[in-house]
Amino acid sequence: MTQDVYDRALGALTGLALGDALGMPTQSMSREAIRTHYGPIRSLRDAVAAQPISPGLPAGTVTDDTEQAVLVARLLIDGEGRIDPKTFAKSLLDWESDMIRRGLADLLGPSTKRALELLEAGVAPEQAGKTGTTNGAAMRITPVAIATPPELDRLLDAVVAASELTHNTNLGIAAAAAVAAAVSAGIDGADLPTALDHAEHAAAAGARRGHWSAGGDIAARIRWARRWVRGMDTDTLADAVCDVIGTSVASQESVVAAFALAEALGDEPVEALTLAAELGGDTDTVAAICGAILGARHGASGLPRDLTTTVVEVNGLELEPVADGLLRLRSRPGTVQRRRRP
């Protein structure tokens, strides 16, 4: 792997963490409440006492988006490209128990929680995630993208393998496939329009995987949103994403919102991520996904060192060995394997 590839892989992880940390103080708040308590978001901020998920956390703290992405990365590396579903389930439950012990409300999302309950009740892993349509798989898919080249069939197999336990639906898999494709293509050196085009193709293919669930088609919504937001000024863009695209945990809102911001502000990563933090709703996830996509495009060297250093130090993150381990998987043929069904 060249230094440029390593820089972009590290950039994907670093951009995810930076976006997550920028969105931490505003997650699950309304746009109006964010204006009242913070005003414009221009940098990392402490969470106010009125923050419903992470009150009082210091500036730069990451949330479930980064922590679960790192969890997936370690499972991939330790499993030499394979994620065992039972180990994955236990790791997620252990993560939530640690959040509870720390007195935080940043717990497992609704799709993941339901899937793990079904798995505990004896439901087969490929059936446990058959109602998972939210953005949990997409928010933690970046390590899979780093570990897997952008070749579509191989990438989709890797996405399904990492997602089906909790988000085995057309919507959940399409959303995760879109993010994975954009990040993986970016790591290979694709320019941003090419990477986002690849994301549309991956979302369309991913929608043919998993259990069907009603909802707006992810690929079609990304395609529409990208065309719609081009040329918008920042204020118009904010209104468009917040009021029309949406920023809820639904994949067809928050994941599409991240792509819209990447399309409109792809040359200005910090502006894209701080705007995401101001929109309300699932701000940490919108910003984290957008950060992963733009981090893969610009590389770690293209992100502001003062902000990324703060995020790394506040959370004790060690992303370099994670990027190294995932890239070693990327260089091996057929690395990420689907779980064999009995």
| Residue 45 in domain | yes
Residue 338 lies in a domain: no
In this structure, what CATH number is given to the domain that contains residue 34?
A: 1.10.4080.10
- Facing residues of 281 across strands? 29
Q: Residues forming the annotated binding site?
A: 63-65, 282, 284-285
On whether residue 337 sits in a domain, the answer given is no
Does residue 341 belong to any structural domain of this protein? no
236-262 pLDDT per residue, tens: 999 999 999 999 999 999 999 999 999
Whether 339 is covered by a domain: the verdict is no
314-332: per-residue pLDDT in tens?
999 999 999 999 999 998 8
Q: What is the pLDDT of residues 172-190, one digit of tens each?
A: 999 999 999 999 999 999 9
In a domain, 114, yes or no: yes
Range of the domain at 93: 3-330
DSSP annotation string for 23-83? HGGGTTB-HHHHHHHT-S--S--PPPTT-SSSTTPPTT---HHHHHHHHHHHHHHHTTT--
pLDDT digits (tens, 9 = 90+) for 305-316: 999 999 999 999
Domain count of the chain? Answer: 1
Closest CA to 296 of 78, 137, 141: 141
Average pLDDT of the chain, as a whole number = 93
Within a domain: residue 133? yes
User: What residues are designated binding site for Mg(2+)?
Assistant: 63-65, 282, 284-285
Q: Per the confidence metrics, is the pTM higher than 0.75?
A: yes
Instruction: Quote the crossing angle between the two packed helices 110-120 and 152-167, to the nearest 10°.
Output: 70
What is the reported pLDDT for 339? 40
User: Is residue 342 included in any domain, yes or no?
Assistant: no
* End-to-end Cα distance, the chain: 36
User: Once rounded to an integer, what is the mean pLDDT over residues 194-206?
Assistant: 98
What's at 93, amino acid-wise?
A: L
